[in-house]
Amino acid sequence: MDFLKPEIRNYFFKQEPTIKTKIDDLPPAKYNPGAQVKNSLVASGCIINGTVENSVLFKDVFVGNNCVIKNSVILNNVYLGDNTHIENCIVESRDTIRANSYYCGEGEVKIVVEKNERYPL
C-alpha cells in the first residue's frame, strides 16, 4: 500500500539500482464507462467496471458492475462479480468472488480466500 505514495514509487523506480520485473504480454488496463479509479495502482490485463479507491490491483483482475473496492490489495487473476464490496482486504490469487458479496476488514486487514467456480457447467 505504500506504493500509492509518490515519494515511495519514485524511490524504487527512479533511482539506481532499478527494480526489474517479469513482463507478461497483456493488454493495458481497460476502464469501461462508469468506472471510477482514485489513487490506485492498476496492472495490465485488468478490466474495471466499478469503483476502485486507494487500492492495488495486480494482473488480470476483473471488477464487475457496481463493485466497490477500497483500501485493498487484489492479487493476480481475480474475478469480482457484480455488486461486490471489498474494503480493507487482501484477496488471494485466482479467486472468484460471487456477485453481491461483502467483505470488510474491521480494524485489521482481512484475507479473502474464496475458490468458487468461475464458469459453472
| pLDDT at residue number 118 | 66
**Are 103 and 85 a contacting pair, CB within 8 Å?**
yes
- Predicted pLDDT of residue 119: 59
Please write the tens of the pLDDT for every residue from 9-44: 787 777 777 666 667 788 999 999 999 999 999 999
**Per-residue model confidence as pLDDT tens digits over 36-87:** 999 999 999 999 999 999 999 999 999 999 999 999 999 999 999 999 999 9
